Chain A
Amino acid sequence: MAINSNKAIKINQKHLLGIQDLKISEIKYILSEAQQFIELNRSKNKKLNILKGKTQINLFFEPSTRTQSSFELAGKRLGADVMSMNITNSAIKKGETLIDTAMTLNAMHPDIIVIRHQDSGACNLLSQKVNCAVLNAGDGRREHPTQALLDALTIMNRKKNIEGLKIAICGDILHSRVARSNIYLLTMLGAEVNIIGPSNLLPKDLEKFGVNIFTDMTKGVKDCDIVMMLRLQNERMTSSYLSSNREYYEYYGLTPDKLKYAKSDALVMHPGPMNRGIEIDTMLADDINKSVIKEQVELGVAVRMACLKIFCN
């Protein structure tokens, strides 16, 4: 799939709430825009003024390192005025509801709000109450669209086409918004997606999303071009999903041995932050011949710049 840089394509959505709301042409458009920012981010002068005079508010209700800093940098490089709300010091801690927070911020006339929230659908609720564009930086278990877009961009930079690739997504699928967004995006772009995880961490009726389900990792990664590992979300596990981390690593952790079942030029991905030695072998994670984990972070800024540029206008 060649990146289509047809400038005539318009995004129909006002907000970026999830991959499932986008059309293929819109996804390709966002990726082609992002492509142009990769070089800029590697050059000495990284500042543009595309969003000069625009106000971007980052509203993060959940801890985040890479997504929040990535969005902040992206906004700043495009020339926007970026404000990152510190939730611990805000009225939310005093019991203000999401809708009231939204109304308050809306009264300050932002042009774009980037939100991460622990509840699925929080960004949908916010988008109904504000006048500006809302970008979803992760809502509960539902979607994390910019992560899926940056994953796609990373894959395309290495493998050219996504169509026809065999991609394994492995780990805690149940709690993962990254998995859901990637399933929508990668199947839409023509990849064959294998989902791997223990039954306790697989959501119901997942096969209806057009993916293959495996509980045996070696079968699931067989002949794959990409092995995407997910973080074990211990903070979301309230009751016994797994017996132990040790057993999980033995059966679902990505090790050089298990990676041998994939294609010889298979790439390893991880959205971060990693639990080294639980879902991924630490040497493998740092192996520059196999792992593109750092590249994912790098391209994340470019993807977010593209999203801000497109949805801000």
Chain B
Amino acid sequence: MTNKKKYFLNAQIIDPCNSINEIGGLIISEEGKIEASGKRVNKNNIPSREAFVDLSGKHIIPGIVDMRVFGGEPGYEYKENYRSLSEAALSGGVTSVVTMPNTKPVIDSVSIVDFIQRRSRDKSKINIFPTATLTKNAEGTNMCEFGLLKNKGIVGFTDGIKSIQSSRVMSRIIKSAYDFDCLVMQHAEDHELSKNGMLNDGIISTKLGIPGITDLAEKIIIERDLTLLEDINCRYHISQISSKKSIDLIDYKKNIVNFTTGVSINNLALNENDIGEFRTFLKLSPPLRTEDDRLSLINGINKNLIDVIVSDHKPEDEESKRLTFSQAATGASGIETFLSLALEQFHNGSIKLEKIIELITHNPAKILNINKGNLSIGTDADFCILDINKPWVVKKEKLLTKSKNTSIEDRKLQGKVLNTFVKGQELFKFK
């Protein structure tokens, strides 16, 4: 690469991996690597002939690592493709995504992994870390080739929108994942209990006349898996939790086995009342639950019981959502609004800024065992510049994702990514 060195000065740099939260600068090498970062970088120790960008009042954070994204490829390119996903992600400060394997065909074999890797190299501007399914065709019966798939570059295994129902299969998955040192990511939902359910089981589901999903459906799978881990403790991550019952269980199990936990920004920012009169864009999995549940999730973050926040970006085309609530597809697109929506919790005093950044950069990278989400010297310069106070309003026609099914249309947010860099290259600039 024949780039010039870049100098950024006077920004508030937050780099939880290196415990940095200070005013300082960032030097990007010609090769697009971090050359220096932090308070040591200031106007007095850079060559006076070099131009620099003065970022007074702005923040620099590592590029966001979003651990739960539906990328569309292959099979659902009409909902999202790597190109549209890249544009959307970059505008939200996301430079690395973990894509879910619920594609068509599902990602469960080495040859499909090969295909998506070539596609992502050609079309994607961001780093794509694909996952593969735990079981063939995500049917929950026969295990995938963890060893071979991991060698091919798969960072984690999950059936994505499905949960392994059989305790026997799950116990074997855990043992096999242990042998190959693979990360298992479980979408915790007992499908028997949640059958036909579409939103939280409670007063709202009763009022709307829509079958509910009990929070026990989530708890029962987490409880089973964490119990299985007592025997053999593989790398295990609960993709998303939604309820207080799960938090209480995690609190209890934290000292017994090793595991990590994620939560969707939707469950942190919204509750079941937001569904109003059948807003299909808020039909989500796990469902939005009560305000008490939401507050317990925030409390869980502050008590270190939750390690990761994800966007759960699930693009669905207009045709899949312009239906009755029962017929509509599940999920919301949210990668562009992810950071800004998370910053709500900082602005309203619920979670510290550094904590939020840790949960969307360093922590997911650590769990995935990838060298991302930090500003360490020598690593790829994936980062973004942020105006933490800039107000803006979510308008679906302005979103860059191919599908505009945002859960927070017209919401007033505070904090916007101004520039996003991948490997030292500026790939997004706010206009």
Give the complex CA separation of A122 and B328 in angstroms. Answer: 12
Q: In the complex the two chains form, is A119's CB within 8 Å of B325's CB?
A: yes
Chain B residues whose C-beta falls within 8 Å of the C-beta of A20 in the assembled complex = 207
Q: For residues 163 through 222 of chain A, which have their beta carbon under 8 Å from a beta carbon of chain B? A: 177, 180, 203-206, 208-209
Chain B residues whose C-beta falls within 8 Å of the C-beta of A140 in the assembled complex = 209-210, 326
Q: For residues 322 through 336 of chain B, which have their beta carbon under 8 Å from a beta carbon of chain A? A: 322-327
Is B196 part of the binding interface, using a Cβ–Cβ cutoff of 8 Å? yes
Q: Which residue of B lies closest to A180 (CB)?
A: B209
Q: In the complex the two chains form, is B208's CB within 8 Å of A204's CB?
A: no
- Minimum distance in angstroms from A215 CB to a CB of chain B: 17
Given contacts A125-B278, A177-B209, A204-B203, contact A97 B323 (CB under 8 A): yes
On chain B, the number of residues with a Cβ less than 8 Å from chain A's Cβ atoms is 23
Chain B residues whose C-beta falls within 8 Å of the C-beta of A206 in the assembled complex = 206
Q: Which residue of B lies closest to A208 (CB)?
A: B203
- Give 1 or 0 for each of B208-224: 1 = CB within 8 Å of chain A CB: 11111010000000000
Q: Which residue of B lies closest to A175 (CB)?
A: B209
Q: Which residue of B lies closest to A140 (CB)?
A: B209
- Minimum distance in angstroms from B293 CB to a CB of chain A: 14
Is B202 part of the binding interface, using a Cβ–Cβ cutoff of 8 Å? yes
Is A289 part of the binding interface, using a Cβ–Cβ cutoff of 8 Å? no
- Minimum distance in angstroms from B374 CB to a CB of chain A: 45
Give the complex CA separation of A307 and B206 in angstroms. Answer: 26
Is A121 part of the binding interface, using a Cβ–Cβ cutoff of 8 Å? yes
- Minimum distance in angstroms from B264 CB to a CB of chain A: 23
- Minimum distance in angstroms from B20 CB to a CB of chain A: 48
Give the complex CA separation of A140 and B210 in angstroms. Answer: 8
Q: Which residue of A lies closest to B278 (CB)?
A: A121
Is A284 part of the binding interface, using a Cβ–Cβ cutoff of 8 Å? no
Chain B residues whose C-beta falls within 8 Å of the C-beta of A177 in the assembled complex = 209
- Minimum distance in angstroms from A132 CB to a CB of chain B: 19
- Minimum distance in angstroms from A49 CB to a CB of chain B: 36
- Give 1 or 0 for each of B340-373: 1 = CB within 8 Å of chain A CB: 0000000000000000000000000000000000
Give the complex CA separation of A177 and B323 in angstroms. Answer: 20
Chain A residues whose C-beta falls within 8 Å of the C-beta of B429 in the assembled complex = none
Chain B residues whose C-beta falls within 8 Å of the C-beta of A124 in the assembled complex = 277-278
Is B118 part of the binding interface, using a Cβ–Cβ cutoff of 8 Å? no
Give the complex CA separation of A208 and B322 in angstroms. Answer: 31
Q: In the complex the two chains form, is B209's CB within 8 Å of A141's CB?
A: yes
- Give 1 or 0 for each of A137-151: 1 = CB within 8 Å of chain B CB: 001111100000000
The list of the 9 closest CB pairs from A to B, nearest first, reads: A142-B209, A141-B209, A120-B209, A121-B278, A119-B324, A203-B206, A205-B203, A119-B326, A204-B201
Binding site for A on B (CB under 8 A): 195-196, 201-203, 205-212, 214, 277-278, 319, 322-327
Q: Can you give 12 contacting A-B residue pairs, CB < 8 Å?
A: A98-B324, A99-B323, A119-B327, A120-B208, A120-B210, A121-B278, A141-B211, A142-B207, A203-B206, A204-B206, A205-B206, A238-B196
